[in-house]
Amino acid sequence: MVFAHDTENSLLAAVDLVNAEEPPSTMTTVADLEAFYARHGYTGRLDRTTHELARVRALAPRLRGLLLADRDHAPGLVNELLAQEHAIPRLVRHAGQDWHLHAVAADAPLDTRIVVETAMAMIDVVRADEHSRLAVCADADCDGLVLDLSRNRSRRYCSVACTNRNAQAALRARRAGAAAG
Ligand SMILES: [Zn+2]
Ligand SMILES: [Zn+2]
């Protein structure tokens, strides 16, 4: 494990949300939002409204900026966001999740909780100087984000689709080279 489990969960959720909003969006219905909520083990308020869905979707550019911010810029963004949302970190333990941090109330809007949790996770990224774990997908035509939590830092693509497409292209290039040689 590179970071504490709640930090890793928050980063995974933020990256998932940013990538879901890469066109064509895969977060277009309240059902998609419910699936996202369940997939990342969220607890607390979920309105299941199109308003909530719109607010969560609108977070994507802000999350992208936070996740890709470098060591000189991330602290300012994080500090500003935590102050703006009146974040007060506290340890919480609830069903299925051992002690972890919450910084806003469980009945705060979901988009507020997501952005504050992402900022809280970035605190760990900054302190550990692990910004290189977060990058844009290595596929030439993809702007998806990659969160590499692997021990040997081997992850380069945002999805299985991007990994496979590039593996096939590399194979074709090798075959063409062999045929020409
Ligand atoms: Zn919790
Ligand atoms: Zn990709």
Segment 67-75 mean pLDDT: 97
* Ligand found nearest the CA of 160: 2
> How far does residue 99's CA lie from ligand 2's centre (Å)?
33
* Distance from residue 154's CA to the centre of ligand 1 (Å): 30
Q: What residues flank ion ligand 2 with Cβ within 5 A?
A: 137, 139, 142, 144, 158, 162
> How does pLDDT run across 97-122, given as a tens digit for each residue?
899 999 999 999 999 999 999 999 99
Count how many Cα atoms sit within 13 Å of the Cα of residue 154 in the half-sphere of its side chain.
4
With b meaning 16 or more CB within 10 Å and e meaning fewer, what string describes 32-43?
Answer: bbeebbeebebe
Q: What pLDDT, in 10s, does the model give residues 117-162?
A: 999 999 999 999 999 999 999 999 999 999 999 999 999 999 999 9
Question: Is the model's pTM score more than 0.95?
Answer: no
Q: Whole-angstrom Cα distance, residue 24 to residue 39?
A: 20
